[in-house]
Structure 1
Amino acid sequence: MRKPDLTAPPRPADLVRFAPDFGQRFILSVDVEEDFDWDGPLARSSHSLDSLPRLAKFQQFCEGFGVAPIYLVDFPVASAPLAAEILREPLAAGRAEIGIQLHPWVNPPHTEEVNQRNSYAGNLPLELERAKFRKLRDTIETNLGATPQIYRAGRYGVGPNTAAMLSDAAIAIDTSVRARFDYSADGGPDFRDHGIHPWWVDRHGGLMELPLTTIYWGILRNQGPYLHPALWRAPRLRGLLAHLGLLQRIPLSPEGVTKEEALEAIDIAIDEQAPILNFSFHSPSLLPGSTPYVRDEADLDALYDWWRSCFGYLAQRGIRPARVREIMAAVQL
């Protein structure tokens, strides 16, 4: 039996099967985190939670479409009294779900050097990765009154020990894999060969990987898994291929993706028979000026319109929202 490893692409036998009546579904996973300078160096301090109050409006917006967001919170958020004020009630009522997002540079214990490599939690020594994880999990349970069953490593930074750590902690789902992206240039994982179908990372331990959904679009999309990574040194050529409608990589996120592109991606993900479409974005985008994706109020209006269009189209295509407990209940072992 091979060691459970989130960095390894799945084998066909590892793919998760769901009950026929589960159909194709979608989730909305939100990276709920502190506000920091995306262009500056990582730091333990020099951040704020100014965007956090914006979650209340976004929660109401999602409820209007019958969507229960999965809030993947990191330590600065989990330990903030304001987070409890905003999230405790919808979590208790089942109108939202909670998960863990580990940003190691702002998560105690603070014993490692802050640098790019160590920003990927999976690169840390096992005992330190586990200690940070446990501190965050316990803080979430104490302050937000809910037990998380889903995890995402900040910056998608899983490592060789992460899967065993999650299995030992009875986490049901990891959602750290950003399918078809590569972060190895500065020490992160390489997910170029990871697909969009959920798979068992540790079947015995009950740990499923639910990757973020990314598709290839264009005339050459069948060659996307091979051609797009080969052009990593030629970003202008990638841009030209996308402009010509030949090949484009599209993640299901409003950050850097137009709503027209997103609707194309939804169609392709459905055609590729992805059981669960995994949408995501960063909560600071709800406050203009906090991320590169939302600079002003017009951008924020566009973000909400993006979600409105996607939720409407998903309903039109018969793709219903799912909750973590529904996903696990539909699994066929």
Structure 2
Amino acid sequence: MKLVLSIDVEEEGLFSGAYQRNAPVKNLDHLSRLEFLSKEMGFPLTLLVSWQVANDPHCRDILKRWQDELGAEIGAHLHPWSTPPFEDLGKPEPVPSDEIPERLLRAKFETLLETLQTGLGVTPTSFRMGRWDFGRQMQTLLPQYGIQVDASIAPLRHIRGGPDRFLAPADPYWLQPADPNGRPLFEVPLTMVPIWPSSPRVVHSLAKALPSKARQAILSNFSAVGAVGIQPVWYPATSMRWAARIHRRRKGQVLTMFLHSSELMPGQSPHFPNEDAVHRLVEKIRDFITWLTQTGPVQGVTLSELLPKDRAGAA
């Protein structure tokens, strides 16, 4: 089994509900809390970087060290609300990506890619969309700019107002293009698995027949009551181990974990208000991966290393 450890490397403030254009990026200094994963345990990280981070010289120095000394992959992470150019769309942020004019969304994505190339010398091949807002427009854009691997889908989670990815597979798969003339993406979803295999389709089918409010409630709560995952912020340690066991038992090939870089900085998330809370999060990750390596063979890989060799470079 392969393990992907992915970090959304981004600015602070999102957990306060604010979507600022010039938020600070001091949390990057706390990324060092995870160095043990690569130094001691041999697991590389995939760092999916927002424009605010890529545009900051100090952050670039940190990322270069992770890339050069610790074997990290640098990918792209788009936050349309904080990535120039800006226009007044007459809607509160975050504006859904499919409601942003295509020319503007494209320009924002180009800004992110150009900044990663200029500042870090990176032409990314992996990507995750901010706020899991992976709609038709982004799915169409990515292959046009050399992105081959996407990690924007969280199965069994309902994103209000977003695309319906509730029934997405738990293991990587080829995501067929939204544009008939486009190219497929290799999708690497977060590891979220149902406790009862048939329950997602039953619940999804039932929810479609219900009024909107009831439908939203059922789908939004399913990941908490009918699923388990290896996401250390969303699930307790027992559920993380349970998810890994279930996925192995069902012949799963890949485990994908994620967290936000700002969750490593005390006070930047309501879940981690102080140093003790952040310390518990880091130890939870260490304990889980130690258990995982002790209970079965596991290989650490980055997102792009998962791309099947017969399709690598095809995009």
Helix, strand or coil for the counterpart of 2:284? Answer: helix
- C-alpha distance in structure 2 between counterparts of 1:43 and 1:325, whole Å: 30
2:46 matched residue in structure 1: 70
Residues 1:44 and 2:18 aligned together: no
In structure 2, C-alpha distance between the alignment counterparts of 1:173 and 1:49, rounded to whole Å: 26
Q: CA deviation at 1:266?
A: 0.8
Of the three residues 85, 88, 104, the one matched with 1:128 is 104
User: Is the aligned partner of 1:321 residue 2:300?
Assistant: yes
Instruction: Specify the SS of the correspondent of 1:288.
Output: coil
Q: In structure 1, list runs of 5 or more residues that go unmatched.
A: 1-23
Contact 1:102 1:121 in 2 (8 A): no
Separation in structure 1 between the aligned mates of residue 291 and residue 215 of structure 2, nearest angstrom = 32
2:7 to 30, 34, 39: 30
Letter of the aligned partner of 1:124 in structure 2? I
> Residues 205 and 42 from structure 1, CA distance in 2 versus in 1: closer, same or farther, beyond 3 angstroms?
same
What per-residue deviation string (whole Å, max 9, x for no partner) do you get for residues 199-257 of structure 1? 2224873521111111122xx4532443378475657x959x97xxxx43223211131
Contact 1:42–1:115 (CA<8 Å) still a contact in 2?
Answer: no
Aligned pair 1:201/2:175, yes or no?
yes
Aligned residue in 1 for 2:211: none
The question of 1:271 aligning with 2:249 is answered: yes
Match of 1:106 among 76, 82, 101: 82
Q: Secondary structure at the match of 1:191?
A: coil
- Partners of 2:143 and 2:114 in 1: how far apart? 16
| 1:300 is aligned to 2:274 | no
Distance 1:233 1:97 in 2: 36
- Alpha-carbon distance in 2 for matches of 1:94, 1:233: 42
Does the CA contact (< 8 Å) of 1:180 and 1:193 recur in 2? Answer: yes
Moved more, 314-323 or 223-232: 223-232
- Name 2:147's counterpart in structure 1: 171
**How big is each residue's C-alpha offset from its partner over 1:98-142, in whole Å with a ceiling of 9 and x where there is no partner?**
111101000001114374575333432221111111110110111
What SS does structure 1 have at the residue aligned with 2:174?
strand
Root-mean-square deviation (Å): 2.7
Counterpart Cα distance in 1 of 2:164 and 2:92: 15
Taking structure 1 as reference, are residues 197 and 114 closer, same or farther at Cα in structure 2, changes over 3 Å only?
farther
TM-score by length of 2: 0.85
2:298 partner amino acid: I
The partner residue of 2:199 within 214, 219, 223 is: 223
* 2:97 and 2:133 in contact (8 A); partners too: yes
TM-aligned CA deviation for residue 38 of structure 1 = 1.9
1:261 is aligned to 2:239: yes
**Cα-to-partner distance string for 1:55-107 (whole Å, 9 max, x where unaligned):** 13323443321111100111111101111111113313461011111010000
Q: For 2:305, give the aligned amino acid.
A: E
Please report how far the alpha carbon of residue 314 of structure 1 lies from its aligned counterpart in structure 2 after TM superposition.
2.2
Q: Is 1:251 matched up with 2:229?
A: yes
- 1:6-38 deviation line (CA, Å, top 9, x unaligned): xxxxxxxxxxxxxxxxxx211011011111052
Of all paired residues, the percent bearing the same amino acid is: 27
Matching of residue 291 in structure 1 with residue 269 in structure 2: yes
Question: What is the SS of the residue equivalent to 1:53?
Answer: helix
**Inter-partner Cα distance in structure 2 for 1:116 and 1:209:** 29
Q: Deviation at 1:154?
A: 0.3
Cα distance in 2 for residues equivalent to 1:115 and 1:65: 46
The 1:234/1:273 distance shift into structure 2, 3 A limit, reads: same
Q: Secondary structure at the match of 1:52?
A: helix
Q: Which moved more, 1:292-301 or 1:89-98?
A: 89-98
Q: In the superposition, relative to structure 1, how do residues 129 and 332 fare at CA in structure 2: closer, same or farther (>3 Å)?
A: closer
TM-score, L = length of structure 1: 0.81
How much has 1:284 moved relative to structure 2?
0.5
Distance 1:258 1:56, change over 3 A: same
Aligned pair count reads: 299
Aligned-partner SS, 2:27: coil
**Contact between 1:120 and 1:155, CA under 8 Å: does it hold in 2?**
no
Shift of the 225–298 alpha-carbon distance from structure 1 to 2, 3 Å rule, reads farther
1:145 aligns with 2:135: no
1:192 to 153, 166, 188: 166
Which deviates the most, 136-145 or 87-96? 87-96
Aligned to 2:192: 214
Q: Equivalent residue for 1:97?
A: 73
Distance of aligned partners of 1:141 and 1:59 in 2 relative to their CA distance in 1, 3 Å threshold: farther
Cα contact 1:179–1:191 (8 A) shared by 2: yes
Closer, same or farther in 2 for the Cα pair 1:118/1:98, shift >3 Å?
same
1:7 maps to: none
